[in-house]
């Protein structure tokens, strides 16, 4: 059961972040679904993740996206680096979090810590 239906992340530049998240989320099967003013929603069928242009400063947030395989985590990481993300943890096992926890971490253009995680079978 999912606990969160959707979340919106503050960003300082909507167009820059749109391009970043379109590339970052594609390997996870998510796409841009809708723009509503200064907010853009991504998801598979519904707006599950959004970005909202907000005046800085705002706190850095850690957000983890679910991946369905180790390969998706790796593609997420490579796509992020390809659009200018800063590596914050290369793809790999992190058993200190949970057995089978395979994740990668990047910093987005606003410094948010963005993760893709596959929790194994």
pLDDT for the residue numbered 61: 95
pLDDT for the residue numbered 5: 82
Q: Which residues contact 1 (CB under 8 A, 6 or more apart)?
A: none
Asked whether the beta carbons of 14 and 51 are under 8 A apart, the reply is yes
Asked whether the beta carbons of 49 and 115 are under 8 A apart, the reply is no
pLDDT for the residue numbered 47: 94
pTM: 0.92
pLDDT for the residue numbered 4: 78
Low pLDDT (below 50) residues in the chain: 1
pLDDT for the residue numbered 2: 59
**3-state DSSP call for residue 103?**
strand
Token couple for 120: 């194994």
Token couple for 110: 């606003």
* Domains of the chain as residue ranges with CATH: 7-118 (3.10.180.10)
pLDDT tens profile 49-67: 999 999 989 999 999 999 9
């Amino acid at each position: 059961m999912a606990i969160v239906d959707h979340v919106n992340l503050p960003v300082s530049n909507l167009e820059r972040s749109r391009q970043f998240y379109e590339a970052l989320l594609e390997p996870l099967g998510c796409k841009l679904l809708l723009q509503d003013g200064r907010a853009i929603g991504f998801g598979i069928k519904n707006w599950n993740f959004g970005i909202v242009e907000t005046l800085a400063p705002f706190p850095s947030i850690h957000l983890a996206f679910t991946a369905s395989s180790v390969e998706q985590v790796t593609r997420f990481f490579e796509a992020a680096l390809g659009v200018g993300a800063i590596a914050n943890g290369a793809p790999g096992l992190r058993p200190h979090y949970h057995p089978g926890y395979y994740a990668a971490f990047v910093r987005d253009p606003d410094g948010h810590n963005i993760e893709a995680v596959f929790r194994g079978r």
